[in-house]
Chain A
């Protein structure tokens, strides 16, 4: 049976008893209580239910009934019948006891190694008790060995679920549960989670296994991105003096809205590039250029950079002449090239 719960429940039960007692006839209740208190047998269904010897029950009841204010019971327990508070009719008690017993964890061991925390008030007792129990269990488990915690925990089977109060870490089976290894494990998991994020960001890292190689890839990627930024800034610097920036605002907003669709590395949707201000021919060649930029760049950043540098700085490429010679990329089928161009035509 569960010895830990009754001592906590008794004050609550005592309060309830007192409250429930008010409407009941005091004399009859007292008679029943006396019978229960004296005999410990038939009338004392409460104690029988709890399984405690009546003397213990009364002992436990005594100090606890003292503090809670005797509501309607001031006259009743005042005489010598005080040690045996009247127990209300059976169904109420049975119900309450049953409810309380389901909440309490099974602690078959005697109350000495597992003294439950001082009983909080009844209503908040359940929630608070659960918390306190787990905290208590955790602190006990930390001190105790694994075998002991297996006893004290609810039958979660293999659940060596150590839940220390402040680190939300789940200890696995067969792993040490002292605070150092727990903290280390938490740290490790943190780092691993961030490495996973980085692996997703950096293309081509998912195949690589091992931290050092992944970090290598990340470093390479960061360096290449920084180099691209430098190169693009060079291009922009060259283009800058000649261009009026006023007309670019609207242009950039529309473009940013579309280019946002570009930015997924997995699927390059080449159909969304529109350059409404270009003539058709220039647009088509620009489209080719753009496709090559996006497709090539995202796949082979280094090669593209070298191609750009080959083309020379400063001057924008002359599209009509040099396209086939400079860009040797094998693009997607001409079908995709045609459709954007036709889209352009309709837009224009």
Chain B
């Protein structure tokens, strides 16, 4: 490949985790499925749950989402949006700022809307149903936090990471809920099981 000093897909930028635009995007599935990440998230989730005062589903959900965004380390747009939305803790703010520094602003030519239309227009092919794909992209942008008005390729990348993260979150929360339920069930029933659970 010709390495030239032009802006766009320079592979020499070591700071950006997401390097070249034409380079194949990272596989987030592997990143969010590793056992280490699950452990990190599990611990954070526990901390967050301990912090919530009492059983309010909204608080629990907010805590879980914040824990997830923290685990994402602020490298993605949706994680930063979540952290900013719930930013009461100074620790989170610091992390968000660090994430903002690490992540380089995207090298996009100025008109975002025009590019979005152009990109989506290219994607859907020759059909006249540009609106369908456009509409769905907009819906997707609304679903993923902080990703409205994002052009198509960035939006797809964010949503891939978000989906992987959500899957991990769901499985972790389910495991935790089952564990809690099981522990709760066992504790009044069997004394030694209770002692085992405490260890």
Contacts and interface: CB of A to CB of B under 8 A. Distances in A.
A196 to B, nearest CB: 9
A246 B164 CA distance: 29
Interface in A27-69: none
A176 interface: no
B61 A293 contact: no
Interface in A183-211: 184, 186-195, 197-198, 200-202, 211
Given A194-B153, A243-B180, A167 B22 contact: yes
A289 B129 CA distance: 46
B22 A219 contact: no
Contact of B152 (A134, A165, A191, A232): A191
Contact of A259 (B8, B46, B171, B180): B171
A188 B122 contact: yes
Given A197-B160, A245-B50, A257 B196 contact: no
Interface string A116-157: 000000000000000100110000000000000000000000
B167 A225 contact: yes
Interface stretch (A3-11, A76-84, A275-283): A275-283
A102 B176 CA distance: 68
B163 A218 contact: yes
A200 B49 CA distance: 32
Interface string A244-268: 1111111111011101101110000
Given A167-B9, A278-B193, A184 B118 contact: yes
A237 B56 contact: yes
B137 interface: yes
Contacts of A189: 22
Which of A197, A230, A297 has the largest number of chain B CB atoms within 10 A? Answer: A197
A165 B177 contact: no
Interface string B18-36: 0011101101110001110
A229 B169 contact: yes
B166 interface: yes
B124 interface: yes
A75 B194 CA distance: 102
Interface in A160-198: 163, 165-169, 184, 186-195, 197-198
Nearest to B166: A225
A316 interface: yes
Contacts of A326: none
Nearest to B40: A256
Interface stretch (B81-89, B90-98, B138-146): B138-146
A240 interface: yes
B166 A255 contact: no
A297 B184 contact: no
A221 interface: yes
A68 B57 CA distance: 81
A251 B197 contact: yes
Nearest to B136: A215
Contacts of B199: 247, 250
B179 A188 contact: no
A347 to B, nearest CB: 11
B110 interface: no
Interface in B23-65: 24-25, 27-29, 33-35, 38-39, 42-43, 46, 49-50, 52, 54-61, 64-65
Nearest to B157: A194
Contacts of A198: 156, 159-160, 163
A107 interface: no
B171 A247 contact: no
Interface string B89-113: 0000000000000000000000000
Given A230-B61, A240-B60, A253-B39, 16 more contacts: A168-B9, A197-B27, A221-B163, A222-B162, A228-B174, A229-B61, A233-B61, A236-B173, A251-B183, A251-B197, A255-B179, A260-B34, A275-B182, A279-B193, A282-B193, A317-B181
